[in-house]
Amino acid sequence: MKPQYQYTQICAFAGYNAQYAALYIATFLCMLGAKVGSRGEISTVPNVAPKILAISDEAFIADMAAIGLARVYMGKLMAELIFIGIRTFIGNATLIPVGASVPDGFLIGVQSTH
């Protein structure tokens, strides 16, 4: 049985420069099934499941944020929607687990978890 969600590694080609990441990563993730609001900005993310990712308007995800890493519980792969609220900042190297809902106007600092 094939997994319903595939994780995508986009860090390798997005790491060339910040301008490239700011211009193209959000569009690329939208093409893969993510929902990204207007003026939402995503820098490099190492692993992400685009079909379960929803990023609201004006949210910012910084470099190397781990969004929705796979979680296995009792032999089953957990796949739940990850919601990032309006005007929310996700810091560098932050861990946002599967099923997390980050509220509007929230700031999660560098190397933190939700």
Tell me whether residue 1 is in a domain.
Answer: no
Residue 76's DSSP bridge partners are 73
Query: Domain tally for the chain?
Result: 1
User: Rg of the chain over CA atoms, in angstroms?
Assistant: 13
pTM of the model: 0.75
Residue 103 belongs to domain spanning: 11-108
* Percent of the chain clearing pLDDT 70 (strictly above): 80
The DSSP letter of residue 8 is B
pLDDT score of 93 more than 60: yes
pLDDT score of 85 more than 90: yes
Helix (H, G, I), strand (E, B) or coil at 40: coil
* Percent of the chain clearing pLDDT 90 (strictly above): 24
pLDDT range class, residue 64, cuts 50, 70, 90: confident
pLDDT score of 24 more than 50: yes
Mean pLDDT of 72-78: 85
